[in-house]
Amino acid sequence: MDKINIGGQAVLEGVMMRAPRAMAIAVRRPNGEIVIRREQSPPLSERFPIVKLPLLRGAVALVTSLIIGIKALNFSANEALVEEEEEGQEAKKEELSSWALAGTMVVAFGFGIALFFVLPLYLTKLLVPVMGDNNILFNLVDGLIRVVVFLLYIWSIARMKDIQRVFQYHGAEHKTIFAFEAGVELSLENVRHFSRLHPRCGTSFLLIVMLVSIAVFSLIPKAWPFVYKALSRVVLLPLIAGISYEFLKWSAKNDRHPLVKLVITPGLALQRLTTREPDDDQLEVAIRSVQEALDENAGYRDDRIVV
């Protein structure tokens, strides 16, 4: 039997897990009940083989993960904050429409680009009279400011009480994935002993993106106007995501090599901010999410196949 790779994301009071052709979201309601949403989600590469190409698959994975992540967050927010009326009827839930989802994605991308790419570029431009017009130094300072802004952002949101609970579910997600990869039974007793720091974490991916961008942006001519430089960061983002994705996949397969261990150490260290030790209730939700995703994946059928 082929090895199945799974990945996940912490959401509000829950965990979303993705198997190769299915996903499941498990959320704990205020009354303690765990509510599940399952759906089949075959990869785009099955319909469009071109997206399997190196670099391109990383950009596609980034957009796909963002879409699925926003949907999962919307579902978890509706379920985790649901209130019951006096008659015992649940409050009406509203799902994001396609237009609302698209708008949310645009806002998310815009905020991320403005905060982590345009702002550091602008601050670096202000420092040119001090540090001179050296292109290498310019990009190093730009990259350093970008990393600092990213770390300050993570540090600041980590202080919020609600986000700390999300980070606990993040830790539960990692522990459960580790247990699944180790091939042990997904029980509380087994899962709680695994590490909450995982080399394939999205946090590590974002840090890699920050570092790769330093090298890529160094190719931009220093004579370009500020507006062109800012726009180039948007245009080059898919390439940066593709390179970062390939590096993350490679490092995950070679995580026992001493050099790889050294390279991935900063990402693992950053996860000490973005994960917290979960309690058993949170581990139970993560375990349920994996089990439901695997069950849905096992029942996958391709309607294009005629028997």
| 35 has pLDDT over 90 | yes
Q: How many of the other CB atoms lie within 10 Å of CB of 225?
A: 8
Return the percentage of the chain with pLDDT > 90, whole number: 40
Tokens 């431009």 — which residue? 125
Looking at residue 206, its pLDDT comes to 84
**Banded pLDDT at 149 (limits 50, 70, 90):** very high
| 252 has pLDDT over 60 | yes
Looking at residue 101, its pLDDT comes to 64
Nearest to 76, CA basis, from 297, 292, 285: 285
| 306 has pLDDT over 90 | no
**Banded pLDDT at 307 (limits 50, 70, 90):** very low
**Banded pLDDT at 87 (limits 50, 70, 90):** very low
| Mean pLDDT value of segment 301-307 | 38
The answer to whether residue 189 is domain-embedded is yes
Tokens 């294009």 — which residue? 304
DSSP string covering 180-234, please? HHHT----HHHHTTS-S--TT-HHHHHHHHHHHHHHHHTTS-TTS-HHHHHHHHH
Looking at residue 251, its pLDDT comes to 80
The answer to whether residue 38 is domain-embedded is yes
Looking at residue 187, its pLDDT comes to 94
Looking at residue 3, its pLDDT comes to 73
The structure's pTM equals 0.85
Give me the number of domains the chain comprises.
1
The answer to whether residue 107 is domain-embedded is yes
Range of the domain at 181: 7-84+92-298
Looking at residue 95, its pLDDT comes to 60
The answer to whether residue 2 is domain-embedded is no
The answer to whether residue 303 is domain-embedded is no
**Banded pLDDT at 86 (limits 50, 70, 90):** very low
The answer to whether residue 304 is domain-embedded is no
Express each pLDDT in 253-284 by its tens digit. Answer: 777 778 777 778 888 888 999 999 999 999 99
| Mean pLDDT value of segment 40-45 | 81
The answer to whether residue 307 is domain-embedded is no
Return the percentage of the chain with pLDDT > 70, whole number: 90
Span of 24-38, 112-126, 251-265 with lowest mean pLDDT: 251-265
Q: Tell me the two tokens of residue 247.
A: 């590096």
